[in-house]
A and B are shown apart, each in its own frame.
Chain A
């Protein structure tokens, strides 16, 4: 999962301090793996260097947690491009897709479209595997079927999520 994009997405609804960013990340996405402060600051300094965020205020006192970050126009574009891009289907995709859906809803983008894009990407791969099954031997068929069932599981989760977008939107915007 891309922590950089996730933090950027969280900044879209307004500037936040480093500690606030960590808190928001943990609350929405860090259920099993909260972020370390070190990760936040190394990520933010990279985003700063790339012009995707800027420091919009510094509180009195020393230390990076005093900085308040704001997203730049380039940062907003970066988030939009990330959300619009289909993920390469692979194991443990769920956390990335979940993060994207939640951020799309938070930033009032079209989450349904994001899911459509991902469905198309999954189906593209599934067509290739199905074709290989048609022409291959039994071993090919079994190997392809294994991959097909996994991709199908991703898609079933995706359809279920699509059906619950309204509820999820209420929850994340609360």
Chain B
């Protein structure tokens, strides 16, 4: 059963790495446009859950549905096509292509989706402006600060107009002020473009940018309990 209107819906996900269980029957659902924080201690299975939801890894068992399609039944090629078309990603670091400039990095997902170079670069520049990093457009990732790099990464994740942005500890390597700024730019932009966000974080101040939270403990995901 898929809850009415849910965009992404996972049931009973199990995943083990060798003999280490990472997910042990995790459920999850995401509605269009909502920002959900996935919280929990280190090693509880948050990243594994995100990777399964995004079709980056296949669970050992359980299903992930995206709209009316079943990710867990697709071929690798179909899944990567879906990721390119509908998903955006922000990780803690290391996601930008080091050989490309900030502008080229942001334009890349658009190019991969068939947008022509000039259009892709024009849109990329608009995103860099919006994320307040147009000044570093011509620099490579190794030549910008951590905070600037994350803003470029957010611009890249959103440039392809994804329906879901997957963010895994996007502020994990930033100081408070930069972390806050990245979070408010990310969530504002996601809300404006009606993208839903799966936000993995162990920090409460970051989770406070979400609409609701899911807590993962020992590979089991639970909805935040309604407070009395």
Which residues of A pack against B, CB within 8 Å? Answer: 84-86, 112-113, 116-117, 119-124, 126-127, 129-130, 134, 148-149, 151-152, 155-156, 159, 162-163
Q: Nearest 6 pairs between A and B by C-beta?
A: A126-B208, A130-B208, A121-B227, A155-B204, A120-B224, A86-B227
Q: B28 interface residue, CB < 8 Å from A?
A: no
Complex: how many Å from CA A156 to CA B203? 8
**CB-CB under 8 A for A123 and B207, given A159-B41, A163-B41:** yes
Task: Kindly identify which residue among A116, A117, A123 contacts B208, using a CB–CB cutoff of 8 Å.
Answer: A123
In contact, A162 and B41 (Cβ under 8 angstroms)? yes
- Secondary structure dominating the interface of A: helix
Q: Which residues of B contact A (CB under 8 A)?
A: 39, 41, 184, 188, 202-205, 207-211, 213, 215, 217, 222, 224-228
Give the secondary structure class of B's interface.
Answer: loop
**Cross-chain contact B204 with A117 (CB below 8 angstroms):** no
Provide the residues of chain B in CB contact with A121, threshold 8 Å. 227
Residues of A within 8 A of B215 (CB): 116, 119
Pair B226/A120 contact, Cβ less than 8 Å: yes
Q: How many A-B residue pairs have CB under 8 A?
A: 58
- Please name the residue on chain A nearest to B44 by beta carbon: A163
CA of A151 to CA of B207 in the docked complex: distance in angstroms? 12
Q: List 25 A-B contacts (CB under 8 A).
A: A84-B228, A113-B225, A116-B215, A117-B225, A117-B228, A119-B39, A119-B213, A119-B215, A120-B224, A120-B226, A121-B227, A123-B207, A123-B213, A124-B227, A126-B204, A127-B210, A127-B211, A129-B208, A130-B209, A134-B184, A148-B205, A148-B208, A152-B203, A152-B205, A159-B202
Asked if A120 meets B41 with Cβ closer than 8 Å, knowing A112-B217, A148-B208, the reply is no
Instruction: For the complex formed, measure the closest distance between the CB of B178 and the CB atoms of chain A, giving whole angstroms.
Output: 14
| CA A155 to CA B213, docked complex, whole Å | 14
**Least CB distance, B43 to chain A, in whole angstroms:** 10
* A81 to chain B: closest residue by CB: B228
CB of B180 to closest CB in A, whole Å: 8
Cβ contacts under 8 Å, A120 to chain B = 213, 224-227
User: Across the interface, do B209 and A122 meet the contact criterion of CB distance under 8 Å?
Assistant: no
- Nearest residue, chain B, Cβ from A121: B227
